[in-house]
Amino acid sequence: MAQLLSNEEINKIQRSVDIVEVIGSYINLEKKGKNYFGVCPFHDDHTPSLSVSREKGLYSCFTCGHTGTVFQFVEDYENVSFIEAVKIVADKAGIKLDLDFKENSKYDSMYEAYDLAIKFYQNNLKSKQGHAAHEYLNKRGLSDDIIDEFEIGYASPDSDTLTKLLRAKEFDEEEMINAGLINRGNSVYDLFRDRITFPIHNAQGKPVAFSARIYEKKDNEAKYINTKETPIFKKGEILFNYHRARNEARKLKQLIIVEGQMDAIRVYASGIKNVVATMGTALTDYHIRLLSKLNVEIILCLDNDSAGEKATFAIADMLENANIDFRVLRLVGEKDPDEYIIAHGVDAYRDAINHAVSYFDFKKKIYSKNKDFKNEVDVTNYINSMLEELSKKDDDVLIEATINNLSEEFSISKQTLMKKLNSFEKKTPVKKKTPVINVKEQKERLSYEDSLSELLIYYMISDVKYIKLYEQELSYLNNEKYYSIASDILAFYLKYNYINMADFIVNERDSEYLDDIIRIVDNNYNLELVDNDFVGLIEKIKEISVVNEVDKKLVDISNSTDINEQMNLLNKLMDIKKKEV
Ligand SMILES: [Zn+2]
């Protein structure tokens, strides 16, 4: 994206807001000493680990290491781009940005067209033409409030009413065809006709597509048609209802995933608002990242048929590999949450959610399905499947409990079961947590010199006087990375004549070393700055670099066979030695 705002402008916004107030509008903060503390929204937190410093203009979680400026917080909390986060923060501070952000997104006219189409279809639903569709929705138990909240509408049977409207509003026809709203055959026509329309939004809440369904039986017509994939609609990036469910999920620390939009709407309409639906039955890496970031328990509640069962395995495997907390809910009796709530009421559904089981228990149930335990082959198959599953676990308690159970249930000795268990190759599950920003985890083993350099950098970002000392006394660091960061700090100071951690981080947001800078800030967050310590740091770094140089020269001398060159190197070595004193 092109630079919409200069760093100066962004930092002006940053300085004019109170980070405590902004973060405090998302999570509860309590003052303790100089800082404010709250429950971190970026990991599964129970005690307040997130500290916000008004003085530094930064926040930092001492458990998961999530650290950054007010913009980073909003970016990750709201799941928006950096520049959108800046806009949100500016809005909160009542700062009017001169920029028209609308002009800057190349897809904004598509979003606008969707907004227009949504309103147009909503009006249709309330008109005489939409009466039958409206009645159908009411009959299915969707109140007018829910119809409004989900912006459900109706596309009339006419072939080009939306086309005409878009034309009248001067939308570019090619672009609208690209956006999947209209199509061109012999003439240009509307895509959806005589169907109920459900808008689909992306994670940021922007409308990007429609799902349109028939409301009376029609031969040769698909029950649902969806917008094709477009530049703004990638099925693999959508979880239906995510933008509405996100905050409730954070509050309840739980998100329910169902299979169909109608299910999500039904569950939501029943007052359980932390629910999303997959688009189709698969999850993508994008979804996993989104869910990982949300950091809440997932309840996987797919359809109660064989396709749903298969999808449950596929999705559960992905969740497990990503180390996301989840349980599985298989409904009994009805096919999906929609039918289940209609048949048994929402309280029964809530109860079912509370009784969702672990993935392991779910597998147990599936493996024992249709098995006749009087038949040895069935018993053997069942036990083998269970043991194979068990061999993937590294939970000793679970292993022992399962072995005990199987042993009792089928009167097979524990030794035999253990022997069989050990015959399966021990596959340790790939525990790959998609890191949010997991700085704490990678507490790297730094060399002595590097750890000194990191400390030096922390001092420099904290106070101008240390930048000046660095410039006078050292102005060079051996490690290219640290040298580059220190040079950037110096350049920031020379340009703006001040230093501020939060502003510097904003300044460096495209730097390849941003993660390092944030790690350095995080690692030293509560460090007390002492002038003498800094002077000592400089001395030590100098010493090390002299020692390094001497070592290098000694190696050079011993490698050289040319006597003149050796003499030359020796002289250089003497010079270095002189510096040492
Ligand atoms: Zn945290």
Domain locations along the chain: 7-92, 108-233, 242-363, 448-575
Calculate how far, in angstroms, residue 81's C-alpha sits from the geometric centre of ligand 1.
Answer: 20
56 within 8 A of 501, measured Cβ to Cβ = yes
pLDDT for 130 = 95
Taking the centre of ligand 1 as the mean of its atom positions, its distance from the CA of residue 526, in whole angstroms, is 16
State which residues of the chain have pLDDT below 50.
1-2, 101-104, 429-442
Predicted pLDDT at 567: 81
Specify the pLDDT at position 223.
Answer: 87
Cα–Cα distance list, 79 to 75, 130, 148, 237, 238 (Å):
5, 36, 25, 13, 13
For residue 306 the two structure tokens come to: 């064989």
> Which structure tokens are listed for 78?
């709201």
> Ligand 1 center to residue 1 CA distance, Å?
29
For the domain spanning 108-233, the CATH number is 3.90.980.10
Q: How do residues 229-247 score in pLDDT, each as one tens digit?
A: 998 998 888 999 999 998 8
Distance 62 CA to ligand 1 centre (A): 7
Find the 65 Cα to ligand 1 centroid distance in Å.
6
| Superfamily the domain 7-92 falls into | Zinc finger, CHC2-typedomain (3.90.580.10)
CATH class held by domain 242-363 = alpha beta
- Please spell the DSSP secondary structure of 79-131, one letter per residue: T--HHHHHHHHHHHTTPPPSS-GGGG-TTHHHHHHHHHHHHHHHHHHHSSTTH
Q: What is the 3-state secondary structure (H, E, C) of 425-460?
A: CCCCCCCCCCCCCCCCCCCCCCCHHHHHHHHHHHHH
d(CA 68, CA 357): 37
CA of 141 relative to ligand 1 center, distance in Å: 41
Ligand 1 center to residue 67 CA distance, Å?
A: 9
* Ligand 1 centroid from CA 436, angstroms: 10
* Ligand 1 mean position, distance from CA 49 (Å): 6
pLDDT of residue 5: 76
**What pLDDT score was predicted for residue 437?**
39
Q: State residue 441's pLDDT score.
A: 43
pLDDT, position 257: 97
pLDDT for res 429: 47
